[in-house]
Chains A and B, each alone.
Chain A
Amino acid sequence: MTLLRQGSGGRVRFLLDGEVIEAADVEPTGSVLDYLRYDLRRTGTKEGCAEGDCGACTVLLGELAGDRVKWRAVNACILFLPMLDGKALKTVESLGGDHPVQREMVARHGSQCGFCTPGFVMSLYGRTIGAAGTEGMPVGDVIAGNLCRCTGYGPILAAGEAVPVSAENDTSAAEALRSLQPGYGHPRTTDELAALLLTNPETRIVAGATDVGLWVTKQLRDLGPTVFIGDIPDLQQIEEAPDALILGAAVRYSEAREALTRLHPDLGELVRRIGGVQVRNAGTIGGNIANGSPIGDMPPALIALGAELTLRRGSERRTITLEDFFLAYGKQDRAAGEFVESVRIPRPAPDMLIRIVKLSKRFDSDITGVCGALALRIEGGTVTQARIAFGGMAGIPARAKACEAALIGQPWNADTVEAAAQALADDYTPLDDLRGSADYRGKVAANLLRRIWAEQSEPVSVLHA
């Protein structure tokens, strides 16, 4: 079995409406969207942005989960063809035109120009069959990754709400998936991955492709040799231990959300605001950490909670704190041939005060301007522990040591909070870009601390006003 692909030549087998489709000689970074539109001539799935931000290309990807098929909505524009191998696919054409979601969209005038419509139909359809990341979610959250510029959304929300959730009979799809032979040869174990990376350390690791997808669609880059880790079961483990939550590097946001919510509700809310459902159904916690962005959503929260990474190279493993992983802008503590295997997030004691806040121009599906996370222990009116981290305030997600020092050992009162807020100026030189000026970022970071004090006596969230 060849695990490493360079150039074209890979073979991908997937199920489409009960039929096995085999694509030979696929480019490793060819998109599912282009394949659908220009090879299969299924043009119902649209390209609106080619970067996973508009949802016009939403399709459902199905995998076996026991004797059922678990479906998840994803953006086909940044889904590489090899990621389809061994899976089932549904596009808007699969619905036949007369599904209740489609009927409600027509009856409620949910389409105007119609270009975004197939994407909305697929997101809403996914909700009705209990697709990943939609369970118990309001319709607004289900379609927050789909942009419409015509309707103002009211009729689409109404159409979504009009169709109840009910499982579909997918026995035949499950049967077909069981007998489908994957063709691409992705690594199936962490050991295989470790061996491959040891001998081919230059290999590009692709998990959900929500970031590297854009290197291809926007920067037109050639990624060189790639390895896809999204289908390695060992890397998808979620272990909810009494003292910690351990997430495999390839656990997707949607899969981690419930466990993270149980760790702390603010973590769940943070995940809700990462991308849309489609992005959360592709992007992984490990990928968000390993790509080292200064504005990645998870790292500040995980640093504040004291998370540790396990890195693996060949058969060697080492564990480091997450904050130590980020060395400088664009530089992480990861050796050649090494990969992030898992992240361990200690479970905070019930009496800890945890606050995680993301600020962005738009609430949903926006990239962080400032993300602040704070974990405090207050005993007998005195702050005894403080771990505070921010994103968007420096070239890397980083601890606020001066701010922490201003809190630890001090009485928990307004004066202490004010001193801690002002100490942030010593901790950071904020980014200054289109998402916010350095001045704004510095000001709101300090205000987030003041708000945590204020919320003890009054409501502070505009989302719940």
Chain B
Amino acid sequence: MPEGAVHQSLPHDSADLHVAGAAAYVDDLPEPPGLLHLAFGHATDGHATLRSLDLDAVRAAPGVVAVFTAADIPGENNVGPVVHDDLLLADGEILYPGQPLFLVAAVSARAARRAARLGKVSAEPRPVRVTIADAQAAGDEIETTQRMARGDADAALAAAPHRLTGAVEIGGQEHFYLEGQAALALPGEQGQLHIVSSTQHPSEVQHLVATLLNLSSADVTVEVRRMGGAFGGKETQAAPFAAACALVAAKTGRPAKFRADRDDDMNFTGKRHDFTAGYDVGFDSDGRIVGIRLTLASRCGATTDLSPAINDRAMFHADNCYFLPAVEIVSHRLRTHTVSNTAFRGFGGPQGMMAIERVMDAIAAELELDPLVVRQANLYGPGRDLTPYHMQVADNVAPEIIAELANRAGYEARRAEIAAFNASHTVLKKGLALTPVKFGISFTTTHLNQAGALVLVYADGSIQLNHGGTEMGQGLNIKVAQVVADVFGVPIDVVKITSTRTDKVPNTSATAASSGTDLNGMAAQRAAETIKRRLDDFAATVPGSADWTFQELCRRAHLARISLASTGFYATPGIGYDRASHRGRPFLYFAYGAALSEVVIDTLTGEHKVVAVDILHDVGRSLNPAIDLGQIEGGFIQGMGWLTTEELVYDARGRLLTHAPSTYKIPTANDRPQRMNIAIWERGENAEPTVHRSKAVGEPPLMLAISVFSALTQAVAAAAPGKGLPDLDAPATPERILAAIDELRARNG
């Protein structure tokens, strides 16, 4: 196998730069002369009619060069991706606390931030809807309720031997990318702009800036070298910062930079949607579901953003690995006067999956069965392979993975050990749970499943690789470079990775939906193969060419006037979805995995700890096992944080109270379980012809952490003798654990 080829654990292409502090992010770039620093003046209260803005004190503040409001925007005042309801600067109405009202440009970041607090806002407060329940009571939705169904759920429920209803609340999540939102705009000739943005979606930033300023897309170039983390939080949420820079650069003719303060960033950018999930499930005495109705409701926030697709994905994953013979999934998308929620790793999938895993635990508690037995009884299988959206599950490896993990990790023996532990302890109780993951891969909005790449081979045999995907730490660039190096049979260092630019590859989709490698890897492979074919064809005409080095081949091909550059394009085949009926094949394939988590709780304080975790995850044939393992571990820990320590708290006016790491607690190194065994499933191979038969890995592992929540549920149950499912909501903070114990003890007398 040649050096640099696929299936090898190569380090991240920027690793040497990362550790040396030499990898440049937006704010690290040299500051051009005359640079202006920006800050938004944010609304400090919630929903209101905006009467007037008195910005005299802002303009007079030291260092302020210019102040802009909605009236200063020459084109469309919008940074919303799909529905144009996300204003860059408020106009007439304040929709949520934190909303930008005006924009300050000053000679330093501190001057801009100080001045931004001096605006006098005259606004008439209006009633606010903060919670899902508030919005439901008012019937305020960002789009009409959606319904996905197969079979007759009502009839199946009515005839079911057992029937249960219940609900679970699932909290939201802040992305907490370590690099806050940042952008830099440089004015060019004839009104053109060059924007460096920390965004997952350079093309969208380009298009939004163009319409904001009455420019064409060709006037605007957006560049991304790397992001300091994103996780979905820079898919749409990067746009306002880039747009603000573009506005100031266009208006003043000076370069402009916006680096959001952490608190401002957390207050003003969207988060994972919090959900409530209700169920009405009928099942037989083996715990096998015969009919189910799931009712999902989410807090979308003040504007549409990506909420329709996110809530769709929640519906798509409310089956997880389980066959639901008669099913209705109802999804309410609620508008609240809070910051607009957005994409976050899993994109609604985790919340849908939490709902059905809750149902599994409920059935097991009711029948007093091992929850794993109930899960296995409900898995997709031969003759039971149609999803609620009528797609056949053709690549189902969940049963194998679950059985293998249970065996490797000693599920049966550990369950017995834990029962013994719980019998001999009164304060501490342990819980164990194994939950699977099946995650659909493709953008469910079909047209987004396309990608382009540009491969340039130079006459000295060096290669520049460019594609439409963005690097946010996930290792996309090294994987795609491995694919290209493999095509040419050259060492990996020959392939130079360059920044993502809209002037190299146009009309790209966001790097999202775990699809970065699937789409861009394939496009780059095609571009490389085009050049490789030309080289091979040329070499075939020259006797003795077989002895040439790659460098020699390129030099000779150039002299023979062979083109050494090519674009490549890929559009995912075979997918399609009818959203009106919620039927079709939205996904090319599914990624699978399973995790076994063991937890211990303190029944007097609610404190808890994840003691041990075993993971078996399917990445197809891994392009880079080290990168994939990193995604699995990182995704799991991020999911564990979502379900345990990370709590978003809003006040009655919709103001976020947890807007800094002092109050919002993501996991630390000591929260990582002491025993953590992560394995890539050795037999993994994509049934679909993806790039080298690999599978996407960005999002699916996050949902492995649902095993932690289920294990905590088991531990709480062990604290209260008798049967019944603990009334535990997520995140399972110590306070919620203790409340669930008390409630179950009260219920069981």
Interface residues of A (CB under 8 A from B): 37-38, 41-51, 53-54, 56, 91-93, 95-97, 101-102, 105-107, 109-118, 121, 139-141, 143-144, 146-157, 218, 220, 359, 361-367, 369, 433-437, 440, 443-444, 447-448, 450-451, 454-455, 458-463, 465
Report how far A2 CA is from B695 CA in the complex, Å.
67
The chain A residue sitting closest to B650, CB to CB, is A434
Asked if B609 CB lies within 8 Å of chain A CBs, one says yes
Closest 8 A-B residue pairs measured CB to CB? A44-B21, A113-B473, A115-B228, A114-B18, A152-B637, A92-B21, A152-B633, A112-B473
6 extra interchain contacts, Cβ-Cβ under 8 A, other than A93-B21, A448-B605? A48-B178, A149-B634, A359-B605, A448-B604, A454-B604, A465-B600
Contact between B114 and A220 (Cβ–Cβ < 8 Å)?
yes
Verify A459–B428 contact, CB threshold 8 A.
yes
Q: What distance in Å separates the Cβ of B651 from its nearest Cβ neighbour in chain A?
A: 9
Chain B residue contacts of A144, Cβ below 8 A: 668-670
Residue among A38, A112, A448 with most chain B CB within 10 A: A112
Contact between B228 and A113, CB atoms less than 8 A apart: yes
B-side interface mostly: loop
B611 to chain A: which residues have CB within 8 Å? Answer: 465
Distance (Å) between the CB of B244 and the closest chain A CB? 19
Which residues does chain A contribute within 8 Å of B20, judged by CB atoms?
44, 92-93, 95-97, 102, 118
Q: B670 touching A447 by the CB < 8 A rule?
A: no
Q: Complex formed: what's the CA distance from A128 to B433 in Å?
A: 39
User: How far apart are the CA atoms of A210 and B401 in the complex, in Å?
Assistant: 48
Distance between Cα atoms of A37 and B109 in the complex (Å): 13
Interface digits, B637-668 against A, CB 8 Å rule (1 contact, 0 not)?
11000000101010000000110111101111
Choice from B472, B636, B661 contacting A54 with Cβ under 8 Å? B661
> Complex Cα distance A121/B20, Å?
8
CA distance A458 to B25 in the complex (A): 52
Q: Judging by beta carbons under 8 Å apart, are B17 and A114 in contact?
A: yes
A462 contact from B110, B114, B600, Cβ within 8 A:
B600
Query: Is A114 touching B645 in the complex (CB atoms < 8 A)?
Result: no
Stretch at the interface among B204-212, B308-316, B542-550, B732-740: B732-740
CB-CB under 8 A for A458 and B669, given A44-B22, A112-B475, A447-B605 = no
Q: Which of B26-34, B161-169, B299-307, B321-329 contacts A (4 or more CB under 8 A)?
A: B26-34
Taking CB atoms, residues of chain A closer than 8 Å to B661 are: 48-49, 51, 53-54, 147
By the criterion of a CB under 8 Å from any partner CB, how many residues of chain B are at the interface? 93
Give the nearest-CB partner of B742 in chain A: A443
13 A–B contacts, CB within 8 A, in A order = A92-B19, A92-B21, A106-B19, A112-B473, A114-B12, A143-B669, A144-B670, A153-B669, A155-B630, A220-B114, A363-B671, A460-B428, A461-B602
Task: For B657, give its contact among A91, A365, A434, A465 (CB under 8 Å).
Answer: A434
Task: Name B84-124 residues within 8 Å CB distance of A.
Answer: 110, 113-114, 117
Q: Is the CB of A147 within 8 A of B176?
A: yes
Shortest distance from the beta carbon of B227 to any chain A beta carbon, whole Å? 6
- Chain B: residues with CB nearer than 8 A to chain A? 9, 11-12, 14-25, 27-28, 30-31, 110, 113-114, 117, 175-180, 226-231, 261-263, 424-428, 430, 472-475, 600-602, 604-609, 611, 626-627, 629-630, 633-638, 645, 647, 649, 657-658, 660-663, 665-672, 676, 678, 733-735, 738-739, 742
Name the contact of A45 in the complex, choosing from B9, B21, B23, B649 (C-beta under 8 A): B21
Q: Are B21 and A51 in contact (CB under 8 A)?
A: no
Q: Give bound CA distance, A464 to B606, whole Å.
A: 15
Cβ-defined contact, B19 with A153, below 8 A: no
Bound together, the chains give a CA A443 to CA B22 distance in angstroms of: 50
Q: Chain B contacts of A44 at CB under 8 A?
A: 20-22
Contact status A114-B228, CB under 8 Å: yes
Contact of B12 among A109, A450, A459 (CB under 8 A): A109
Question: Which of B15, B25, B110, B226 lies at the interface centre, i.e. has the most chain A CB atoms within 10 A of its CB?
Answer: B15
Complex alpha-carbon distance, A293 and B627, angstroms: 44
Whether B176 contacts A436 by the Cβ 8 Å rule is no
> Which residues of B sit under 8 angstroms from A106, Cβ to Cβ?
11, 15-16, 19
- Which residues from chain B contact A146 at a C-beta distance below 8 Å? 669
CA distance A154 to B676 in the complex (A): 9
User: Which of A111, A218, A440 interacts with B738 by CB under 8 Å?
Assistant: A440
Judge whether A157 and B662 touch: CB under 8 Å.
no
Alpha-carbon gap, A91 to B20, bound state (A): 10
Complex Cα distance, B430 from A459, in Å, reads: 13
Complex alpha-carbon distance, A153 and B185, angstroms: 35
Q: Which residues of the partner chain B approach A116 to less than 8 Å between Cβ atoms? A: 178, 228
Q: Which of B18, B667, B672 contacts A117 (CB 8 A)?
A: B18
Cβ A109 vs Cβ B426 within 8 A: no
The chain A residue with its CB closest to the CB of B647 is A361
A462 engages B672 (CB within 8 Å): no
Minimum CB–CB distance from B151 to chain A (whole Å) comes to 40
Measured CB to CB, the closest approach of chain A to B654, in angstroms, equals 14
Which B residue's beta carbon lies closest to that of A455? Answer: B427
Q: Please report the C-alpha to C-alpha distance between residue A43 and residue B11 in the assembled complex, in whole angstroms.
A: 23
Chain A nearest Cβ from B219, distance in angstroms: 30
Q: Determine the chain B residues whose CB is within 8 A of the CB of A102 once the complex forms.
A: 19-20
Known: A114-B226, A147-B668, A157-B672. Is A49-B660 also a contact (CB below 8 A)? yes
A372 → B minimal CB distance (Å): 10
Q: A41-B30, A362-B665, A444-B604 in contact; A113/B472 too (CB < 8 A)?
A: yes
Q: Which residues of A contact B678 (CB under 8 A)?
A: 154
A140 to B673, CA, bound (A): 11
Least Cβ–Cβ distance between A444 and chain B, in angstroms: 5
Measured between beta carbons, the chain A residues less than 8 angstroms from B475 are 112
A118 to B605, CA, bound (A): 36
Q: Are A462 and B608 in touch, CB under 8 angstroms?
A: yes
Specify which of B12, B178, B263, B676 is in contact with A147 (CB 8 Å cutoff): B178
Give the CA-CA distance A43 to B29 in the complex, in Å: 9
In the docked arrangement, what's the CA distance between A453 and B135, Å? 47
A218 contacts B428, C-beta separation under 8 Å = no
By a CB distance below 8 angstroms, the chain B residues around A150 are 229, 473, 630, 634
B602 to chain A: which residues have CB within 8 Å? 451, 460-462
A463 to B426, Cβ gap below 8 A? Answer: no
- Tell whether, in the assembled complex, residue A112 and residue B12 are in contact, meaning their CB atoms are under 8 Å apart: yes
Given contacts A43-B27, A49-B661, A139-B669, contact A437 B735 (CB under 8 A): yes
> Given the complex, which residues of B lie within 8 Å of A440, measured CB to CB?
606, 734-735, 738-739
Taking each of B18, B227, B638, B667, which has the highest tally of chain A beta carbons within 10 Å of its own beta carbon?
Answer: B18
Q: Across the interface, which residues of B come within 8 angstroms of A451, CB to CB?
A: 427, 602, 604-605
CB-CB under 8 A from B11, the residues of chain A are 106-107, 109
Q: Which chain B residue lies CB-closest to A446?
A: B604
Check if B609 sits within 8 Å of A465, measured CB to CB: yes
Closest to B16 in A: A106
Report the Cα distance A359→B606, complex, angstroms.
10
Distance from B387 Cβ to chain A, minimum over Cβ atoms (Å) = 30
Contact B630 A434 (CB under 8 A): no
Q: Which chain A positions have C-beta within 8 A of B21?
A: 42-46, 91-93, 117-118, 121
Are B23 and A114 closer than 8 Å at their CB atoms?
yes
Closest CB-CB distance, B367 to chain A, in whole Å? 29
In the complex, what distance in Å separates the CA atom of A264 from the CA atom of B742?
33
Contact, CB under 8 Å: A460 / B660:
no
Chain B's closest residue to A99 (CB) is B19
Given the complex, which residues of B lie within 8 Å of A45, measured CB to CB?
21
Closest to B30 in A: A41
Residue from B178, B604, B637 within 8 A of A56 (CB atoms): B178
Is A436 touching B735 in the complex (CB atoms < 8 A)? yes
CA of A437 to CA of B475 in the docked complex: distance in angstroms? Answer: 42
Taking CB atoms, residues of chain A closer than 8 Å to B647 are 361, 434
B472: nearest chain-A partner, CB-CB: A113
Q: Are A152 and B634 in contact (CB under 8 A)?
A: yes
Residue from A95, A105, A156, A458 within 8 A of B425 (CB atoms): A458
A366 to B231, CA, bound (A): 24
Closest partner residue, chain B, to A53 (CB atom): B661
Asked if B668 contacts A364 (CB within 8 A), the reply is: yes
Docked-complex contact A444 and B606, CB < 8 angstroms? yes
Q: How far is the CB of B655 from chain A (nearest CB, A)?
A: 11
Task: For the complex, give the distance between the alpha carbons of A156 and B18 in Å.
Answer: 13
